[in-house]
Structure 1
Amino acid sequence: MSPKESIPRKKSCNHCYKSKVRCDLKRPSCTRCSNRNLDCTYVDAKLAEEVAASQSSPATVDGTWLSDSLAPETINNELLDFGNIHLVCTVDEHRIRGRWLESLLPSVDQRPKPFQASTMAFVTRVFKSYPRMFLTENHPPFIHWSQIADRVAEPLANCMNITRMWVAQTPESAAMVREVIGQEMSRLFQKAGLRWGEQRAFSGHLELLAILQCYLLYTIMLFCSANAASLVEQDIMIKLQDLAGDLASRGTLCPAETTGSRPDWESWIVASTKRRTLFATYLLDNLVNFTVGSPSFVAVELTGLPAPASKPLWNARDRRSWNAAYNQQLGLSSDGELLINDLWPQSDPNPAPVRQKKIDDWLSSVDEFGMMLYAVTSHTYNEA
């Protein structure tokens, strides 16, 4: 054998190669992938080098995320680059931050939402399921799959671990779990640079989004524990709304969405996930207010935001299928997509045909999160 010739080296599986760890090369699944319930695939040298090159820069939350669920033959074409997100803010961030004041000093034109106890019991059960989803290889419907596909942001990774503690807690360990949750919430708020009187120091979309999502989940955990009303103090809700306002200030819509055209996939993912997280935050605020006997009011500051996207759009795992789903939506919504305020009470007691058709079309393809929002608004306002 000539000096230039060499025995071909066996290549690690895709996951071990990306993680730069030793692979035992077992087929059809190596031990590491089996232990982590990962889809073990072996790729050729050229493809492995391309994947490694795409991840050569320092890993950051706003960098390139790669979905583990993608097939090896498409993995190089499905890189999600969140480093160039363009969004516009279409809401009043100050009203979002100061929403807690509405229950104390409501505007003269505001009317309390006529929530029923049965509606709020339904919302409580749904919210209680959200943290538990992490334990069933699932995730809450306001967290996009790309956020936990490969490189999980540190706040989300911590939240998954704390969720396991919360689910497994006993009466004896409940106080310790609450203390851990409280400490992590304080750390997250400081991490976002939201100390009172200080300059907002954080500017990233994805990490701030993860911080709000986790703060929201921790608040849900506290609320769904014993003595819920006493555990979710007003200071927690004030900070939650402050985080929500800061997130919204960095954009809630893609510029293309304002003109009825198709945005880039990455910007849409961030914008759509932000909106879902804001809707969930507001609904939790309503739930906490109802529990302590305080009124809640229509979130007029969110007027104009699109309602949660369809299941094909939200769950799309590759650019081609997402583009196709978005093009289909544009073709069907000649009068524009359904807005969140289309689900609120209208001045006309009889729904206009155009609005009713929008709602019907939306319901035919929306996921469980959108269906839950519709159930709450429909039952609250007695609309069919």
Structure 2
Amino acid sequence: MAILRKACRNCTASKRKCVVQLPKCTRCAQRGLECTYDLEPLNAPAVHPGTLPKMSFNPSVCDTPGYCMMKTIRFRSPSIDPAICGPGHPDSFEVLRLGYKPVPELVKAGHPAIFVHPKLQIHCHNHLAALVEFGSVSYESFRRLIQLDLRAVPIKETLTALQALLVYLATFISSVNEVEKKKYLNILSDWTQVLLESAQANMPQDQSSWQAWLFGESVRRTIIMSYGLAMTLSSFNYGYCTGWLFLESLPFDRRAGLWTAESPQAWIAATGVRTGEEVGERLISYHKFAVNLDGSNFDFRGDTFLALLAFSHNGR
């Protein structure tokens, strides 16, 4: 059996420990190196680094079934059979209801949503705020959104555009035909790739420690939820999901209470330190987060994102 890489190419070549995070691992970030991850076996031929792995959300690429999170999720309606995740089964859309559809209402009320924090300062066009302001998710506003050239806008607008796209797709995607569905999933793939590639290089400057953390965590959560949406749709169509290995490698800050804090003071207090600079980032991969849950540490302090990831991976 081939052993998959658990480090970036630079750390693998140097035989150094790789602290996995995106868009660069700790060692590459400190040395100003380009950082490339992949999921090829260790005996795969090396390629020239410099580009991030291209993500594929094409649900027709299902020759290698991945782990289906919807087969194990138990946080569900009593009417849903937990043993079934066949094509077309409504299990797959339970994650949409839990994760995506409450976002506009929470943001409108000024509360942190699963991957959107209303206290992140956006000084450019906020596509998600526009959605919330109009009070409804319309197909016409969605069509206007997807005409956006994401590579020509500021990084924070890129973030809010992808967040709005996720909410729109969670609302509309089950009702469109297969041709349109494939088209929209390709847009989701492209936009997620743009955010993944540009977040580090275009990190907003002159931010407070809290705002810098909010931006980084918003990017990380949005990318994870983008994968989650694509995999949910795949499980609905085919009964299993692809891309699970890459999803499990994605990092986020699992410290409970930080995301739900609605002021810098509460954010600092949640970690028990004295200043914002001391909070920093403590990232963990989705895989390590899930396997380290032993049943005794399920206090997520109201953070739905952490709870949903735990339930999706472990089924409890």
User: Taking structure 2 as the reference length, what is the TM-score of the superposition?
Assistant: 0.62
Please give the secondary structure, in 2, of the residue aligned with 1:115.
helix
Structure number with the higher helix fraction is 1
SS in 2 for 1:269: helix
State the Cα distance separating 1:218 from its structure 2 match.
1.3
Following TM superposition, where does structure 1 have runs of at least 4 consecutive aligned residues deviating by more than 6 angstroms?
Answer: none
Instruction: Find the aligned partners of 2:197 and 2:298 in 1 and give their Cα distance.
Output: 27
Q: Give RMSD over aligned pairs.
A: 3.9
- Matched residue type, 2:216: A
Instruction: Specify the SS of the correspondent of 2:101.
Output: helix
Contact 2:126 / 2:161 at 8 angstroms: preserved in 1? Answer: no
Deviations 1:34-78 (A, max 9, x none): xxxxxxxxxxxxxxxxxxxxxxxxxxxxxxxxxxxxxxxxxxxxx
Are the equivalent residues in 2 in contact too, given 1:310–1:367 (CA < 8 A)? no
Q: Which amino acid aligns with 1:339?
A: S
Among residues 203, 206, 215, which one is paired with 2:156 in the alignment?
Answer: 206
Q: Who is 1:111 aligned against?
A: 66
Question: Per-residue deviation at 1:105?
Answer: 6.0
CA distance, structure 2, for counterparts of residue 313 and residue 223 of structure 1: 32
Query: What is the identity, as a one-letter code, of the residue corresponding to 1:130?
Result: V
CA distance in 2, matches of 1:269, 1:287: 26
**Which residue does 1:183 correspond to in 2?**
143
- Going from structure 1 to structure 2, the CA distance change for 1:312 and 1:115 (only over 3 Å counts) comes to closer
For 1:278, the equivalent position in structure 2 comes to: 223
1:267 and 2:238 correspond: no
Residue identity opposite 1:244 in structure 2: T
Q: Note the C-alpha offset of 1:153.
A: 3.3
What is the alpha-carbon distance in structure 2 between the residues aligned to residue 267 and residue 252 of structure 1? 11
- Check conservation: 1:272, 1:309, Cα contact below 8 A: no
Report what 1:341 is aligned to: 287
Residue type at the aligned position of 1:125: R
Counterpart position of 2:189: 241
1:61-100 alignment to 2 at 5 Å?
A: 88-90=23-25, 92=37, 94-95=52-53, 97-100=54-57
Aligned residues: 244
CA deviation map 1:123-154 (0-9, x unaligned):
1322333344455554632111213x786734
Offset of residue 294 of structure 1 = 6.5
Structure 1: where are the runs of 5+ without partners? Answer: 1-86, 167-176, 194-200, 256-262, 329-335, 345-350
In the TM superposition, residue 324 of structure 1 has moved relative to its aligned partner by 3.4
2:80 counterpart residue number: none
Q: Do the aligned partners of residues 121 and 213 (structure 1) sit closer, same or farther apart at CA in structure 2, a change above 3 Å counting? A: closer
Mark the CA change 1:316 to 1:252 in structure 2 (over 3 Å): closer, same or farther: farther
* 2:167 aligned partner: 217
Correspondence 1:130 to 2:103:
yes
CA shift for structure 1 position 304? 4.8
Task: Tell me if the contact between 2:115 and 2:222 (Cα under 8 Å) persists in the aligned partners.
Answer: yes
Change in Cα spacing, 1:114 to 1:153, as seen in structure 2 (3 Å) is closer
Greater relative CO (CA pairs within 8 A, separation 6+) = 2
Decide whether the 8 Å contact of 1:307 with 1:338 is kept in 2.
yes
Letter in 1 for 2:257: P
Q: Quick one: structure 1 residues 98 and 250, their matched pair in 2 at CA, closer, same or farther if it must change by over 3 Å? A: same
Letter in 1 for 2:162: L
Structure of larger gyration radius: 1
Contact 2:67 2:240 in 1 (8 A): yes
Partners of 1:229 and 1:291 within 8 A in 2: no
User: Are 1:89 and 1:248, in contact at CA under 8 Å, matched by a contact in 2?
Assistant: no
Where do 5+ consecutive residues of structure 2 fail to align?
Answer: 1-21, 26-35, 38-50, 72-84, 274-281
Q: In structure 2, what is the equivalent of residue 368 of structure 1? A: 304
SS in 1 for 2:113: coil
The residue identity in structure 2 corresponding to 1:181 is: S
Determine the structure 2 residue equivalent to 1:321.
266
User: Identity over aligned residues, as a percent?
Assistant: 17
Decide whether aligned partners of structure 1 residues 231 and 220 sit closer, same or farther in structure 2, where only a CA change above 3 A counts.
farther
In the alignment, is the contact (CA less than 8 A) between 1:119 and 1:376 conserved in 2? Answer: no
CA contact (8 A) 2:251 2:286 kept: yes
1:132–1:304 CA distance, 2 compared to 1 (3 A): same
CA–CA distance in structure 1, aligned partners of residues 299 and 122 of structure 2: 31
Matches of 1:318 and 1:112, distance apart in 2 = 38
Code of the aligned partner of 2:269: A
- Normalising by structure 1, we get a TM-score of 0.52
One-letter amino acid of the counterpart of residue 195, structure 2: L
